[in-house]
Structure 1
Amino acid sequence: MADRAPGLVATLSPWFVHLGRRRGRLLTGAALMLLALVAALGLLALSGWFITATALTGLVLASGGAAMLDVYVPGGGIRAFALTRTVARYLERLYNHDTVLRLLADLRGHMFAVLADLDAARLSRRRASDWLNRLTADIDTLDSLFLRLLAPALVALLAILGLSAFLALWAPSVGLATGVMLGLIWCWLTLGQARLGLAASRRRVTELERLRGRVIEHLSGMAELESHGALPEQRRRLDTIEARLRDDQRRLGRLSALGTALAGLTVGLTWVLALWLGAQLWASEALSGPLMVMMPLAVLAMSEALMALPMAFTQFGATQAAAERLNALEASRRPTKTLPDGHLPSAGPLSVDLERIGLRYPGALTATLDDFSLHLAPGERLALCGPSGVGKSSVAALIAGQLVPDSGCVRLGGVDIEHAEGQALRRRLAMLTQGSELFDDSLAANLRLGDPAASDEYLWRLLDDVELGEWARTLPRGLETRVGEGGRRLSGGQARRLALARLMLRDPGLVILDEPFTGLDAGTARRLAERLDAWLTDRTVIYLSHRRDDEAMPLPGVTQTLELQARTGRPLCAKARNLSG
């Protein structure tokens, strides 16, 4: 176990740092949890003392003796403990769950920033469902770090120490026995249960991710699977994963039940031991009857603190595995650049220089780019042509900073892109990819991603420029019309033109347009090309196109053309050839 401790600390320490940013709320929540537990202990202990003292006083009075008992102070104490326990428990649940939701929001925002900073090569190593799983399920698993692991275990330990010290005030032997018995079970319920459930709970995280990925594949490819007769095989794979999940869940359930049973058994044995030791002290007249009864009842109240530990710590491996996966994601993040914005020209067209670029995607048989160079002066317009797979999108991704080359250098405006500040790069570059990335929001909201301050009048003018204005005015809600998830309520041509209008809200120095007129008829494409030509004035432009036929696919203002050609036998390796002379 000793050799694993550093690994565990290294795994969880980044998340302790995140927790530390909410230190005040976490301490307040733990204090409320401790207050509720102390109130429960006080309620049961004082009630036992009061009932016993009342009974003994009544016996004395019934036998003709004289006795006096103040019932108001302990009665008030019992009511105070009962009210405090109820209020503290309610406030603790409300406050701690609000704190955890805030923490999850912090973590999701942080991890989304990490994902956004990953280049295309790193993102391509996993499916989108895997990244989504890390952003949602893994972070959700980490909410147990405070609410179910750290806080309950710490509060239970403090309660054990406090109860032992309290009982030792009247009977040191009872306090010592209580501390030893409850301390041992606390160690088992935390360390022991975590050790027993480590393998199964870690596997469960992995299997759940695999199941989610398979289900998404199954649903998205249902038609293809059925047409090829592969549905039964896919279902068998899903059944296999589910069977493994059930086995691990059954094992974890048995382990949790074992921990719960041991906790109940130990509290019961400690209760009996405290009663036996107290009875011996009472028999020797070293302890009063009410105190003798109060001690085991106080021990009995510790069940509330211990019963929450077995389930949480049996699942500890899932928390550790989720932390490891997110740590690996964080480690793959590119170093943050801190150079000031002034290193990248703040206005005007940008020059583009790619020098001897080498690029190979992970797992690819051949290099995508091999010793590739390109120079584009400020204000020039380049048509980068070639069939699919020769590296056009890779060149664009390199220029946009979405890919890091294996060798060579990429410069924009004379600045190495690796040294350019991220916000400055995003302000100075605009890119229209083949996919029209639209969100399930209104037309106006999707457009204002390009410029949040744009007025409605300006948005209408842009829609007119891309020949969507007349159509949008016929909609009952106009600019507030929702486009659906991924723009599914729009046709392909409408989605493309909406994305182009959003791009025209920007004021970049470099524009990359990947098949800008896909999905449009020739007439519409020519009219849009004329309007786009005016907007592209005084900007550096790179067009990505499969063809060089300007009649079929107009590319306004092209000053040079570069065709990427696949080498024979190496379809992913590209070479550049200037065709403009």
Structure 2
Amino acid sequence: MKSSNDATLIATFRPWMKVLGRRQRRLWLGSLLMLLTVIAAIGLLALSGWFITATAITGVMLAAGIQSTLDIYRPGAGIRFFAVGRSVVRYVERTYNHDTVLRLLADLRAGMFTAMTRLDERVMGQLRASEWLNRLTADIDALDSLYLRLLAPPLVALLAIAGIGVLLGLFAPGIGIVVTIPLLGLWLWLVVGQARLGLAASRRRIATLDRLRMRSVEQMQGLAELRCYDTLASHRRRLADEEQALYEDQRRLGRYQALGNALVGMGVTLSAVLALWLGARAFSAGEIRGPVMVMMPLAVLAMNEALASLPGGFTHFGSTLAAAERLNGIASLQGAITDPQSADTLPTGALSLDLVDISLDYSGSGLPTEVRSVTPALDHVSLSIQAGERVALLGASGAGKSSVARLAARLIEPEQGQVVIGGKDVGQVTLADLRSRIGYLTQQAELFHDTLAANLRLGDAQADDARLWDVLGIVDLAAWARELPQGLDTWVGESGRQLSGGQARRVALARVLLSDPGLVILDEPFSGLDAATASRIAERLDPWLAGRTVIYLAHDDSVLSQVDRTIRLREGRLV
């Protein structure tokens, strides 16, 4: 490869090598176990060949009446040692290294998730949800081969080749040097040649897999819409095209890997034949004995153990490279929302909210430019909500209500204007302080695959069971929760799948009630509920909302009670 390409490769993998470096001791120990496995294989074949030949020669000499002796105990013990040791070390190596890889993947996934949490909604909007999911799962999983297939095995194989050269050189230096040369050439092809051969196809494969997963997720999520607009057939055709392209590259990579495997078998066999031929010449010249001559090619044959994993790892090198490049792109993203160097502190109690000449069009969010310019989310909006005031912010879908909430929670920055909470510019308040003082019930109830209690305690990790039952009572879920077989310890399923839409919404509302905000933003808090249930919950909410600033986001105020003022938005403008 060219030097510029080498520099690019180093730059691509440098961040991930730093992550691997955190578990440096485990990686070195895992590599040592790999090396010990190869040494045991070489020792088993070499010593077995020497012992069988020495035994045969001794028997022939005894049959011919020639006095001869052979110590069978130490070689026999050595053979048993290598045979048992190879099995034990291989088992320990596989178990240990796979545990190491799982730890590394956890480190990588946690680090990437942490980087994503620092991004604002404008940056997050540059990729679809299915693409973000693919980065966190498939792309990071592709990096498991970085250590287990691309770093440790070639290093172990290189050390094994050097070991073979030294072993043969102890008996005949010339043979050790000559046999090492083709093995080094074979190693070089398996590492560099196979990587270059499969680079394009493996890169295309992971990109195709990304599109295939994305389209599959979107088809499942949007099945009703695709059927409604009669576009399901065309969507399926695109999926079939992606599948066909994936199969073609997989078959191509399969052929390349088969070539590598064939070269391993051929290269090791020819090297063994070369060692046998050179050993036979040295035996004829009286330089070595017969058992050593047989031992040499058998020791070389054991190199299959060290080289066998290289074709598979390096043929798919492009997949690992592409995954690392895409994850580097995610890690390099910088959100516009950061903590200030010198922060102000929000006042205690209810918080006021002021929007001063706010304009927002979600530029850079991934939406087409013509959509952003024609339909701004907010257009020169100014409003003031006093501390302790209850306001209903009304408007149709897309009017800009949720944009006001996101600006208040500083999930996104405006193109123009100023957001002031509690008399402080939100840009001068730390994110932790700001968001701990805002209770925001979003339109989508985010529940995790955990117990009901664990999902509630996201609002307050220190809340005891009595407090959990109190907030469940406010949202009219206490009786339902008491009837569950495991009560608060009942698992809600992935994304709250075990709950109905209305129940999941109320669990999310109960989670907000566990916090102690000065500003409460409730986005359609009673959606999916019948009028009687909504009325009961609204009545029970009043005591908790007392003394707090409250903003209801809704299409109409038919289920809202005790609202001090109504503000209407239409197409991003105040009406």
Give the letter aligned to residue 472 of structure 2. Answer: L
Per the normalisation by structure 1, the TM-score is 0.90
Q: Partner residue of 2:568?
A: 563
1:449 aligns with 2:458: yes
Q: Which moved more, 1:517-526 or 1:296-305?
A: 517-526
**TM-superposed deviation, 1:232:** 2.9
Query: Paired residue for 1:515?
Result: 524
Residues 415 and 39 of structure 1: CA distance in aligned 2, closer, same or farther (over 3 Å): farther
Q: Distance in 1 between matches of 2:11 and 2:336?
A: 20
Q: Could you give the per-residue CA deviations for residues 241-280 of structure 1, whole angstroms, max 9, x where no partner exists?
A: 1111110001000000111111111111111111111222
Q: Distance in 2 between matches of 1:175 and 1:555?
A: 91
Q: Which residue of 2 aligns with 1:571?
A: none
Q: Is the 8 A contact 2:445 2:505 kept in 1?
A: yes
Match of 1:344 in 2: 345
Partner of 1:369: 378
- The amino acid that maps onto 2:526 is F
Q: How does 1:123-522 map to 2 (within 5 A)?
A: 123-334=124-335, 343-345=344-346, 347-361=348-362, 362=365, 363-364=367-368, 365=371, 366=373, 367-413=376-422, 415-418=424-427, 420-522=429-531
- 1:497 Cα deviation after fit: 2.6
**Contact 1:515/1:543 (8 A) holds in 2:** yes
> CA 1:341–1:541 in 2, change beyond 3 Å: closer, same or farther?
farther
Name 2:56's counterpart in structure 1: 55
- CA distance in 2 between partners of 1:159 and 1:432 (Å): 61
| 1:18-59 Cα shifts (integer Å, max 9, x gaps) | 111111111111110101111111111111122222222222
Distance 1:18 1:76 in 2: 43
The code of the aligned residue for 1:97 comes to H
Q: Which residue of 1 aligns with 2:560?
A: 554
**Closer/same/farther in 2, CA of residues 477 and 416 from structure 1, 3 Å limit:** same
**Structure 1 range deviating more: 494-503 or 476-485:** 476-485
Change (3 A) 1:186 1:272: same
Which has the larger displacement, 188-197 or 421-430? 421-430
SS of match in other structure, 1:563: strand
Q: Contact conserved, 2:216 with 2:239, CA < 8 A, in 1?
A: yes
- State the SS of the aligned residue for 1:149: coil
2: CA distance, partners of 1:346 / 1:147: 54
Residue 325 of structure 1 deviates from its aligned partner by 1.2
1:120 deviation in Å?
1.9
Q: Which residue of the partner structure matches residue 570 of structure 1?
A: none
CA contact (8 A) 2:342 2:428 kept: no
Task: Count residues with an aligned counterpart.
Answer: 566
Gaps of 5+ in 2: none
Question: Contact (CA 8 Å) 1:346, 1:428: kept in 2 or not?
Answer: no
Alpha-carbon offset, residue 418 of structure 1: 4.5
Are the aligned partners of 1:337 and 1:419 in contact in 2 as well (CA < 8 Å)? no
32-41 or 207-216: bigger deviation? 207-216
Per-residue deviation, 1:455: 2.4
> Are 1:529 and 1:556, in contact at CA under 8 Å, matched by a contact in 2?
no
Task: Flag the 1:379–1:227 CA change in 2: closer, same or farther, 3 A.
Answer: closer
CA gap of 1:232–1:270, structure 2 versus 1, over 3 A, is same
Shift of 1:227: 4.7
Q: What is the CA deviation profile of residues 459-485 of structure 1, one whole-angstrom value per residue up to 9, with x for unaligned ones?
A: 222222222233434444443444444
Query: Does the Cα contact within 8 Å between 1:337 and 1:420 map onto a contact in 2?
Result: no
Alignment of 1:45-84 (within 5 A): 45-84=46-85
Distance 1:186 1:540, change over 3 A: same
Q: 1:537: which partner in 2?
A: 546
Aligned-residue identity in percent = 56
- Cα deviation digits, residues 398-442 of structure 1 (max 9, x gap): 222322334444444455545544433332222101122233444
Question: 2: distance between equivalents of 1:378 and 1:168?
Answer: 87
Q: Distance in 1 between matches of 2:326 and 2:171?
A: 51
Quote the offset at 1:356 in angstroms: 4.2
Give the counterpart letter for 2:569 in structure 1. Answer: L
Structure 1 gaps of 5+ residues are 567-573
RMSD: 2.5
CA 1:304 to 1:378, structure 2 compared with 1: closer, same or farther past 3 Å? same
Distance verdict in 2 for CA 1:190–1:404, change over 3 Å = farther
Relative to structure 1, the CA distance from residue 487 to residue 87 in structure 2 (aligned partners, 3 Å threshold; closer, same or farther) is closer
CA separation in 2, counterparts of 1:18 and 1:210?
A: 28
**1:39 corresponds to which residue?**
40
Pair 500,224 (structure 1): closer, same or farther in 2 beyond 3 Å: closer
Q: What displacement does 1:219 show?
A: 3.0
Give the corresponding residue for 1:117. 118
Equivalent AA in structure 1 for residue 49 of structure 2: G
Separation in structure 2 between the aligned mates of residue 271 and residue 419 of structure 1, nearest angstrom: 73
Q: Identify if the C-alpha distance between structure 1 residues 175 and 498 changes in structure 2 by more than 3 Å, giving closer, same or farther.
A: same
Amino acid at match of 1:554: L
Q: Give the conservation status (yes or no) of the 8 Å contact 1:49–1:294.
A: yes
Deviation at 1:373, TM superposition (A): 4.0
Deviation sequence 1:214-252 (CA, Å, 0-9, x none): 222333344443454433323222221111111000100
* 2:150 match: secondary structure: helix
Residues 62-71 or 143-152, more deviating: 62-71
Hey, what's the Cα distance between the residues in 2 that align with 1:293 and 1:473? 78
Q: Structure 1 453/284 Cα, relative in aligned 2: closer, same or farther at 3 Å?
A: same
Task: For 2:261 and 2:59, locate their aligned partners in 1 and report how far apart those are by CA, in whole Å.
Answer: 40
Q: In 2, Cα distance between the equivalents of 1:152 and 1:542? A: 60
DSSP 3-state at the match of 2:527: coil
CA distance in 1 between counterparts of 2:83 and 2:325 reads: 43
TM normalised by structure 2 equals 0.91
Q: CA deviation at 1:289?
A: 1.8
| Residue-by-residue CA offset, 1:530-566 (whole Å, 9 max, x unaligned) | 332322233333322233x4xx1315453x5433332
Residues 1:100 and 1:418: Cα distance change in structure 2 (over 3 Å):
farther
What is residue 19 of structure 1 aligned with on the other side? Answer: 20
Q: Which moved more, 1:137-146 or 1:287-296?
A: 287-296
Q: CA deviation at 1:128?
A: 1.9
Query: Does structure 2 retain, via aligned residues, the 8 Å contact 1:114–1:333?
Result: no
Counterpart contact for 2:441–2:512, Cα < 8 Å: yes
